[in-house]
Structure 1
């Protein structure tokens, strides 16, 4: 029996092909919902991934945590959680969390156990249409805990949007500062390298009594080229590496290559574009990210909320 490659529906668009292991890994990490619509050659129609044995067998059991009166309880697996639901120990509004979720959500919003609540049993039905990964994510809650640090004190009216997620003001500022400082470090590093090369060429030219002005005149163009490709080392530049940041492809979440780096940084050669980008960083996407289909993630919080 064929087990791939697979095609899947994400944000209303068909994507793929991908291997079975990759698809299962994305579902396990909650990047894709368990009922994401998938298809491969040999299947008569699009089918929820969790209904196919060749995918379901590679998805590890998910461990849940339940918010009780005395704090979080767990981890517990799915069958035990269902027993608690049937026994009435967990209500629809009880907060639960599992690996891959950016924040605590109500038990009634968890597809695995939602059908087992008496009040919802009759009304619950699997979605008839394909559910995209973005639609399946929990709705960002401005008044809930920050999906990055878990703090609620700086949410509410002071919360800010980062890649379509509400995060606390502190995390937003920390991310913005890291990106801007990484940019500054990249500028300083590239100019420092350029200055060293110019100094060495000047010293060599003086010793050899040769005119190296033509070679030195080419150095600014080398600087532009280095700037365009600086994020191509698996999404890392000098500054981003020091700041714990990485440029990734939105679809695959893999580090950016030199092609994506060229695309996202080319607009920065336009006059005043860096100034515009500096103000855009607080919300996430900046000039060039749309063209390159990239975003910047804070590796410390990879898998949470906007990252």
Structure 2
């Protein structure tokens, strides 16, 4: 039997002939499509696209769609809510997930092996380097740990609610993203034995690392500063922090930059960016963009047109 055929058979695991990399990408793209459906279909938008204080103006909007069985079912599902403070659960889960995957990769344990057995020869061959895997895992761990710290240290008691659907979507996203940061490096991970020496700086970082690690850290700093500032506000009001001068939701802008930098840092050999993380970015931009759009409208209604005049919602010069 041909060696390549044997190799393919050896990689046919629990997913059969389906590539695990493609499954992760498809997971993000499906979530992105769902966000756009919720954003553009009025009777879904009124029920599921808003939450928290910004959703208070929409509480009666869903009732305008009639009393059909489908409408009643959607109203019931939209009525399933949890405390807005449950955001903390996302980062507890994400931080724990990162710890789990770091252990799996370092020891090449059973779950990692099951995923690796379902990755195509093409993706294994065109792999991230082991240095890229380490850098991206460390940065992602920093991101999740920082957000967990902010949720614990900066959050204040609130009566705001979050839809159960949004709560579940958060777990879905972090389950995927904590895999996405390393899965295209599986080929390098399989052939490498991790030691403490891997964390020594023994060679000059690549130009890609010199550019995008500082971008990641800068965006993280800006986001933290925005979160800290918002936590100091006594009531909902128009932010006066410099980061909010021209952008309605600069903390969302920073989030997009954080994951854009990871997409470039994790680019496999011969590629400009990591396609799996670009799929993740499509979801992040769509999801946060929807919330930024709603936020701008809320500011207009509550504080007047002048409060947001001349401001972009999230992406300078574009949106």
Give TM-score scaled by structure 2 length: 0.21
Bigger relative contact order (CA 8 A; separation at least 6): 2
Structure ranking higher in strand proportion = 1
Q: Which has the higher helix share?
A: 2
